[in-house]
Amino acid sequence: MSKLPSLSQSAKERLLNKALDAHDQKKQKQETLPPNSTVRGLFGRKFNDKLCRFDQFDGYKEIQYIELGGKSLGVSSPFFKKHDGIAGAVSLINGQEFINFSSYNYLGLGGHPDVTNAAKNAIDQYGTTVSASRMVSGEREVQQQLEKKIAELYSADDALVFVSGHATNVSTIGYLFGPKDLILHDALAHNSILQGTQLSGATRLSFKHNDWEHLEDILGRQRKDFERVLIVIEGLYSMDGDIPDLQKFITIKKAFKAFLMVDEAHSIGVLGSQGKGISEHCEINPHDIDIWMGTLSKSFASCGGYIAGESALIKHLRHYAPGFLYSVGISPCLAAAAISAIEVMQNEPSRVTLLKERGHYFLRKAQEAGIDTGKSAGFSVIPAMAGSSKNAVVLSNKLFERGINVQPILRPAVEDKAARLRFFMSSEHTENQIDFTIDCLASALEEI
Ligand SMILES: Cc1ncc(COP(=O)(O)O)c(C=O)c1O
């Protein structure tokens, strides 16, 4: 906000709020405007101009408006910040050091020397790419080693690695299920789960967040109308940081002969004393989950996603899942980095313990300071509710001015009234950093 030195902080915020309100009103008005003028294509054909231009897409117009509003008020965008080095508990942004809560480097393994060296060695051996789909000619031993490691982690028959976590969900759900099937997902499911469901053509129903009774009720009424049924939940929810009662979901899936899929993007390496995820945390048999899904981009300091489960599932996906079959194999350096990260986690379980301790410490301190942390269980993800998207942006900028980097979560990712700051914890955050952050956050919340 330094570009408007003559205005007080609160005056700048009032201006920002006004601009965003005006934008909302303007958007509503635009939606009721009559269709734009027509343009002519070849051979005299007439078309609606609005529907032939990229700058007329609603999403693009919204981005433009918010950027312009922000610029004119001197409010810098909280997005696309450039980090100069490794983004851990601290990070250099434009040459300045920040306490960093915006990166899911949960176990501090992004930038760990062993992980970095494993990636470098793999580059020396294989180069940076496998230059083909794995089935065609992109298979490398290091990819197979990673899949073996992941399968072991879940005591599963086998595992399959995709080049992106998002693509893993889209391709697996989208490929396995079809129009005669039913997919039931938690109301707060990640976008990749929704996209996969949409792609599948299955009927999609959501149940209330973490509400297994609601799920049971839907299945009781609807199960008979469908062939296959998939229930999708997450091990730890990426916006709220809370955990499902896994045993209840297992009982329901068994009762209704449904498949249960658990996305462990934010729970693998986080939950359980060894970091084995929600099965360890809830002390359930990992075989009770039909489809284990996870990402390599969080605790495992790499990039990609995986599915683990029984041989028939993995072999089927290995031969036919479009996001695997028609996409390049994971780069050897990323596979090697993930293997090394899993090994460091297994050799140093104190990292998992520390992450838990720091998360619990943050949660307790925040609650003592009267900050609304929603339903967070105090592990890797802790939200601080802001009340609106506008407040979340202002809060994020205020903390940034005090040397703390934390991302606001705005609509449409969450409802406007549920906008928040989302704190990603790392085992490397210190209690001092957390104390300072809570002090700054509490006073920033008072100011708004
Ligand atoms: C629950 C969940 N699933 C899947 C993904 C996609 O993973 P990736 O970012 O590794 O593609 C994310 C990303 O944050 C996520 O939160």
**What are 260-317's pLDDT values in tens digits?**
999 999 999 999 999 999 999 999 999 999 999 999 999 999 999 999 999 999 999 9
| pLDDT digit string, tens, across residues 95-138 | 999 999 999 999 999 999 999 999 999 999 999 999 999 999 99
Question: What is the CATH number that goes with domain 113-347?
Answer: 3.40.640.10
CA of 164 to the centre of ligand 1 (A): 8
In this prediction, what percent of the chain has a pLDDT beyond 70?
92
**Per-residue pLDDT band at 417 (split at 50, 70, 90):** very high
pLDDT at residue 414 in the model: 86
- The mean predicted confidence, pLDDT, of the chain is 92
Domain with CATH 3.40.640.10 in the chain: 113-347
- Say how many C-beta atoms besides its own lie within 10 A of residue 23's C-beta: 16
pLDDT at residue 79 in the model: 87
pLDDT of residue 6 exceeding 90, the answer is no
What's the farthest any 2 CA atoms get from each other in the chain? 71
CA of 369 to the centre of ligand 1 (A): 31
CA of 33 to the centre of ligand 1 (A): 38
pLDDT at residue 415 in the model: 87
Question: What is the CATH number that goes with domain 90-105+349-447?
Answer: 3.90.1150.10
| pLDDT digit string, tens, across residues 333-346 | 999 999 999 999 99
pLDDT at residue 5 in the model: 38
**Per-residue pLDDT band at 167 (split at 50, 70, 90):** very high
pLDDT at residue 35 in the model: 53
Contacts of 358 (CB under 8 A, 6+ apart): 425, 426, 427, 429, 431, 434
Domain with CATH 3.90.1150.10 in the chain: 90-105+349-447
Residue nearest to atom 10 of ligand 1 (CA): 165
pLDDT at residue 284 in the model: 98
Residue nearest to atom 9 of ligand 1 (CA): 165
Q: Which of 191, 236, 278, 297 to mutate to test the pocket of ligand 1 (most atoms within 8 A of CB)?
A: 297
Side chain identity at residue 344, one-letter code:
V
Instruction: Decide whether any atom of ligand 1 lies within 6 Å of the 392 Cβ.
Output: no
pLDDT of residue 20 exceeding 70, the answer is no
Q: What predicted TM-score, i.e. pTM, was given to this entire model?
A: 0.91
From 339, 262, 264, 328, select the one nearest 298 (Cα to Cα): 264
